[in-house]
Structure 1
């Protein structure tokens, strides 16, 4: 699913109007019907409704919704803010239609505004501003937003909570953004909806299909994509019925200092679970018994040191390398890691302490091979590229780093994002809060490494890997509840995630 910028959404609306063809006011009517039905599905007709409509097309949507809710016997009062004396053409048409339906339902605000009492049990429909704003709300509108947010009434926002920008909110004033209980967005989610700090404004999200042109969506290039199951299935490699372990890939995992053997266990098990033929785990000598007992299927290769990774190993016989989980950040390990990355001859996944070491030795970034995969969580990335004010700024830094290094940056989070070397960004749609547990990242490293060894290219290994990782977490959460999910549960549910994708 493509995610469009606000400018591209406007372009898509225009394309639909010109090529369906349909009048813009009739397209607004179509949207309003979907919005009205969604509101009626969640709030009964005994709920008093207060509608705040702005002077643009978001306000036009809101006035059309007011008229349709009246037809469904709702008690509706609509406030239309016409401070400048100029309404958009479609807003003006819907103002006239509402007056013709029930003139007393509309209060037009041109100067002074006496806000209505907002009480518990009421519903506020926020139709002040949609996706077109590019600066923080100020003046009377910011006061109105604060008044709504302070009230006990429930709030549903049309398309975008007023005050929230659809992409970059780095310099926005968060106090001047509507905090909706539900957001009814039109046709496609907006980029800012995918960032954790904006969830407080969005509430429950519903995406309403208003039948914008499919041809238009195909024609407009988008820099952002939200993964869907049907995007992942075609990327899966079929298993040869005559395969043997020698043909299914040979992976190397370098992980686990003494006391962190669990990281190497999780990465190794996850690597095996994605169908790779053989996995060799390189780990300090003291982890021997733990690995042999925990993962009998793996080949264990011991470092010459008792407790740390100390020396790069040959990768000539391996199809993929995963390095970093639980390695620690000693100077000896740091030197071994950069030596390993320089000499590796196979696709490589860099995670955890390997990323932390690169953050402490930033000059080494220039020595990384093209096509390398890095899988940082937000704090690891901030150590690498400096503090970010919000998720959008961090994402832009990750995109720039991927382009600069010609690398694949998997930025982990609720919507894990994959930044490709060409600047495109793919967001994952699977996963849940139960996966916020130690070891989840080690599992992802093992999954992606195993897929690389199987023969997936870097992009497909990352896309399939992060989708499977989240899907296994979703299956685990359904069975166990989010509170009780641990990293091992993700590995145990990988087979069911694969089965779902293969069905």
Structure 2
């Protein structure tokens, strides 16, 4: 699913009007009807509504919705924020239609016109929509504060008023929505952690915009969905053998952190690696052999840490490096040697990233199309701080292009930055995965896929989606609170079965 800017969505509206064809006010009617259907499905039609409208097309959506609710005998009051302008043509047309209904319309010119909000009313935010180009001030900001202070449930149409679509709104006044009803596709603002408290739960409603437009436009990014992943996934052929699915090298573990190696190794095998060799310190021998008899082992001369690169590292299809690695000086030297000697794409996580952050000139040594999987703090250590979430994503794209690597910036909507500039947000996963060890599982998954018949980009996209989907399945069984990273691996089989049916 494409993620579009406000300008692109307006262009899609125009394309639909020209090619369907349909009048703009009738398209507005579709949008309002889709909101009404959502309210009906959610069991809201036995409630009363206070609808707050600006005088643009977002306000027109609110007026149309008010008329439809009133026709179903829902108590509705409309509050129109006055800016001194007469409103858009479609707004005025919907206002004229509303006058034939019993809906009370109140006009708001200043704080003295802020009416007390009935405690049981559902508030509908149709003030500004996605056309906002400057932060809220004056009466508009005061009205938004008034709505937020009510404690009532707020449902925003299109986007919570006060939020920008494609740039940071940090520090700005904005409606704090419980639900956001938006149309056709996700907007960038919905995927940013900094906006979580304002957008609430996002619902994308299909209003039948003309599909032909999407073939002519490239969005700011894409949201990974079942269709994209189904096109990437490659079923196994009947005459396949283990050599077709790669021989992975997993460099992981140190004294006291062998669990990270076990988690990554188990996930690697469960994701289909043909062969797996784990490069571990000697203290991990009994642990790995007992926990995972399917894995082969290469033992470091040192009892506790990594010090020596295994012989002929290039014989392995792929190397995954970092889980539980540690940052002792001999291990730092070990990673430098490995980067010098291994020239195939690698997966780097955890302490491998922390070592690179301490030696930024080594980033230039990364094999092309390697996959880096930092969480936000690791990303900051690698590439420096960002002013906001949008800046962090721009930096991820920039560094991905500069270094020729794939950056998987982990989070609720994990962002995958490709060297060619394209970005992808993941749609699977949940907060129950926010536990130590989940990243080790992802490293194992990505290492396995990168060693098979997938390109690095395909491996990254399929890997993050599969990881999140396994997390969603685990949460259904154990709850987000009680699920463990090992439960992700236990659910990889079900996740593959779902993807096979996509």
TM-score by length of structure 1 reads 0.96
Q: CA deviation at 1:238?
A: 2.5
CA distance in 2, matches of 1:63, 1:173: 30
Q: Is the 8 A contact 1:228 1:429 kept in 2?
A: yes
- Aligned equivalents of 2:83 and 2:220: distance in 1? 37
Equivalence for 1:13: 13
Q: CA deviation at 1:131?
A: 0.8
Ranges in structure 2 where 5+ consecutive residues have no aligned partner: none
Distance 2:319 2:208 in 1: 46
User: Counterparts of 1:420 and 1:434 in 2: how far apart (Å)?
Assistant: 27
Q: CA deviation at 1:111?
A: 5.8
Query: Which of 237, 247, 265 is the equivalent residue of 2:234?
Result: 237
Q: Residue 92 of structure 1 aligns with which residue? A: 92
Q: Secondary structure at the match of 2:101?
A: helix
Distance in 1 between the 2:170 and 2:88 partners?
Answer: 25
Contact 1:136 1:172 in 2 (8 A): no
Q: Which residue of 2 aligns with 1:498?
A: 496
Stretch deviating more after TM superposition (30-39 or 422-431): 30-39
Following the alignment from structure 2 to structure 1, what is the Cα–Cα distance between the partners of residues 260 and 335? 17
Q: How much has 1:110 moved relative to structure 2?
A: 4.5
Q: Aligned pairs, how many?
A: 500
After superposition, give the CA deviation of every residue in 1:414-449 in whole Å (9 maximum; x if it has no partner): 111110011111111111111111111011111111
| Structure 1 residue 21: Cα displacement | 0.7
Give the Cα–Cα distance (whole angstroms) in 2 for the partners of residues 137 and 434 of structure 1.
35
SS at match of 1:316: helix
> Are the counterparts in 1 of residues 111 and 139 from structure 2 also a CA contact under 8 Å?
no
* Contact 1:451 1:461 survives alignment (8 Å): yes
Deviations 1:85-131 (A, max 9, x none): 231111111111112334x6222335675111113211111100101
| Alpha-carbon distance in 2 for matches of 1:396, 1:423 | 10
1:310-329 pair list within 5 angstroms: 310-313=307-310, 314-329=312-327
**In the alignment, is residue 301 of structure 1 matched against residue 292 of structure 2?**
no
Deviating more after overlay: 259-268 vs 190-199: 190-199
Q: What is the alpha-carbon distance in structure 2 between the residues aligned to residue 61 and residue 178 of structure 1?
A: 17
Aligned equivalent of 2:456: 458
Which deviates the most, 298-307 or 109-118? 109-118
Residue in structure 1 matched with residue 159 of structure 2 by the alignment: 160
Instruction: Please say if residues 342 and 369 of structure 1, whose CA atoms lie closer than 8 Å, have aligned partners that are also in contact.
Output: no
* Alignment equivalent of 1:213, drawn from 205, 210, 215: 210
Tell me the secondary structure at the aligned position of residue 131 of structure 2: coil
Q: Is contact 1:285-1:304 (8 Å) kept?
A: yes
The residue number in structure 1 matching 2:149 is 150
Aligned match for 2:175, one of 174, 178, 189: 178
Structure 1 residue 81 and structure 2 residue 78: aligned? no
Q: Shift of the alpha carbon at 1:205?
A: 1.8
- Which aligned pairs between 1:245-264 and structure 2 lie closer than 5 A? 245-264=242-261
Q: Partner residue of 2:276?
A: 279
Structure 1 contact 315–346 (Cα < 8 Å) conserved: no
Shift of residue 46, structure 1, vs aligned partner: 4.3
In 2, the alpha carbon distance for the partners of 1:109 and 1:433 equals 41
Matched, 1:292 2:286: no
What is the aligned partner in structure 2 of residue 203 from structure 1?
200
Could you tell me how far apart the structure 2 residues matched to 1:328 and 1:111 are?
61
User: Counterpart of 1:41?
Assistant: 41
**Alignment partner, residue 435 of structure 1:** 433
Check 1:256–1:68 CA distance in 2 against 1; reply closer, same or farther (3 A cut).
same
Aligned-partner Cα distance in 1 for 2:158–2:183: 5
CA contact (8 A) 1:315 1:345 kept: no
CA shift, 1:45, in A, is: 4.1
Give the superposition deviation at 1:474. 1.0
Match 2:189 to one of 192, 206, 211: 192
| 3-state SS in 2 of match to 1:37 | helix
Quote the offset at 1:38 in angstroms: 1.8
